[in-house]
Amino acid sequence: MTIARLSQQEKLQLLNAAERVSTKAYAPFSHFQVGAALLTEKGNLYAGCNVENSSYGLTICAERSAIVAAVAGEGGDKLKIRAIAVINARKQHCVPCGACRQFIYEFSPDALVLFYSRDGLQEKTIAELLPYGFGFL
């Protein structure tokens, strides 16, 4: 199913929520604080930030934090992500990593992803960011 386009107001709401939550990130190692906020088909907003660890590889990105919160809120089987915004606290270039792209793809192959690249605000579908994403479903 094709997901309806987001209104300008919904985009701003997501970007603002992502920016707010980025200030809560636990990033003492990289000092790169990231926030993500997503909107579900049910109309709920969930947010998450990156959480680093002394054992560096355990770090979880903001995008996956937000998705984990959404699964806890709505149940994984029913979760559909309309859009997810990702932002660094200083609005620096910040593009979802491969792991997060696959994580988003799991819950909505046509989700819209908003993020700031070096060229400014970008809007791409997850299918554009992750062609041939893996899935059983």
Tally of CA atoms within 13 A in the half-sphere of 77 that contains its CB: 0
- Catalytic entry in 10, 19, 41, 63: 63
Could you say whether residue 130 binds Zn ion (CB under 5 A)? Answer: no
63 given a catalytic annotation? yes
- Regarding beta strands 34-40 and 120-125, do their DSSP bridges make them parallel or antiparallel, or are they unpaired? unpaired
Q: Is 72 in the site for Zn ion (CB under 5 A)?
A: no
- At closest approach, how far in Å is the CB of 65 from Zn ion? 10
| Partner from ligand DUR, Zn ion, none binding residue 85, C-beta < 5-8 Å depending on class | none
Give contact residues for ligand DUR (rule: CB under 6 A). 27, 30, 32, 34, 50, 52, 59, 61-63, 86, 94-97
User: Does 100 belong to an annotated binding site?
Assistant: yes
Report long-range pairs for 49-55 (Cβ below 8 Å, ≥24 apart): 49/21, 49/22, 49/24, 49/25, 50/25, 50/26, 51/25, 51/26, 52/26, 52/27, 52/28, 54/29
Residue 14: CB minimum distance to ligand DUR, A? 15
Q: 15 or 61, CB closer to Zn ion? A: 61
- Tell which residue, 95, 96, 103, 97, has the closest CA to residue 134: 103
Total chain residues near Zn ion (CB under 5 A): 3
Closer by beta carbon to ligand DUR, 96 or else 103? 96
Catalytic residues: 63
